[in-house]
Amino acid sequence: MGGWAIAVHGGAGVDPNLPNERQEEAKRLLNRCLDIGISALRSNLSAIDVVELVVRELETDPLFNSGRGSALTEKGTVEMEASIMDGPKRRCGAVSGLTTVKNPISLARLVMDKTPHSYLGFAGAEEFARKQGVELVDNEYFITEDNVGMLKLAKEANSILFDYRIPTLTTCGGSAAMENQLQMNGLPISLYAPETVGCVVVDKQGHCAAATSTGGLMNKMTGRIGDSPLIGSGTYACDLVAVSCTGEGEAIIRSTLAREVAAVMEYKGLNLHEAVDYVIKTRLDEGKAGLIAVSKNGEVACGFNTTGMFRGCATEDGFMEVGVW
């Protein structure tokens, strides 16, 4: 065993004009989450407990797109989704369409631990949450002033916003237009939308776990489900590796991105860094995404084909790093 390791992300796709103060704010949050995870691992908490703990912290802070601060639907409401997976027996839990659950990742954990199912959505998930006595809040709790402004901009452009693709207003005809779908930038930073969050951990016993949580796309259709709650797409863990993805949900779904990392390690014999690099370069077609991963041997890796990705990682041997670009 190579010791414990942890990685955390706050989303792939970063505007290159992101102000320094916003970058530092994101780095402080990532560092805080790493410190929480490191302390828990040093206290011998299991990998599955640590990923839940860290993602709860990310959901509570409005900086990134999960829990409080989630992106808004076309109706101006929040519908959140999350998933969690425990590597040793590939147990998993996922939820979608949450509107009142303060910490979606913990409800996903309860689906895994307290039901015979792997996935609950919408009214059924909310009913399960009430029966389990989890903390509930009004939908307004999740809505921030910044996201209300971004939804307004999206509606003026008549576009769905990927978390890092914001429409620019044009003066031609006085209308709003969407940037080329292959471009990510060109928006005043005051309207920048943060992204999905996730955490992957391998503990001292070599057990891997992964968790991912998001509010989805700005101005998405009500009922839309992305990659984050889909096991094998946005989240995956087994006895070999744990992966959490971020970026274009539909591209991640088509490529079963998280599972692909494990697959090429199993079937092609690649190590973790080789597997992450291979999957990002060959499995996304024209999609834009990123991921974090840890292996049972205590390795940690990240990969992305976007301008940047909010991320941080640490290992038992003292290595610790937080980055944006």
Residue with the bigger pLDDT between 279 and 221: it is 279
Is position 185 within any domain? Answer: no
Is position 28 within any domain? Answer: yes
Confidence at 258, pLDDT banded by 50, 70, 90: very high
Nearest one of 166, 247, 205, 255 to 86, comparing CA atoms? 205
Is position 104 within any domain? Answer: yes
Whether the CB-CB separation of 202 and 315 falls below 8 Å is answered with no
Is position 151 within any domain? Answer: no
- Structural domain total, the chain: 1
What pLDDT score does 155 carry? 81
| 282 tagged catalytic | no
Dist. CA 121–CA 103, nearest whole Å? 15
Residue with the bigger pLDDT between 193 and 23: it is 23
Is position 167 within any domain? Answer: no
What residues form DSSP beta bridges with 302?
292
What pLDDT score does 2 carry? 78
Dist. CA 90–CA 240, nearest whole Å? 11
Pairing label, strands 91-98, 119-121: parallel
Q: Which domain holds residue 38?
A: 5-142+190-323
> Across the chain, what does the average pLDDT equal?
89
What pLDDT score does 44 carry? 97
Whether the CB-CB separation of 79 and 73 falls below 8 Å is answered with yes
Interval 41-86: pLDDT, tens: 999 999 999 999 999 999 999 999 999 999 999 999 999 999 999 9
Residue bearing tokens 């959140």: 80
Is position 230 within any domain? Answer: yes
Is position 98 within any domain? Answer: yes
What pLDDT score does 161 carry? 55
The H or E element spanning position 198 is strand 197-202
Annotated binding residues for substrate, as ranges?
224-227, 246-249
- This prediction has a pTM of 0.90
Which is the catalytic residue, given 196, 212, 214, 235? 196
Is position 156 within any domain? Answer: no
CATH number of the domain that 57 lies in?
Answer: 3.60.20.30
What pLDDT score does 159 carry? 60
- For 120-129, 138-147, 226-235, 264-273, which range has the lowest pLDDT when averaged over its residues? 138-147
Interval 75-126: pLDDT, tens: 999 999 999 999 999 999 999 999 999 999 999 999 999 999 999 999 999 9
Cα Dmax for the chain:
63
Interval 146-194: pLDDT, tens: 889 888 887 877 665 554 433 333 323 333 333 434 333 343 333 345 5
Nearest one of 108, 111, 103 to 67, comparing CA atoms? 103
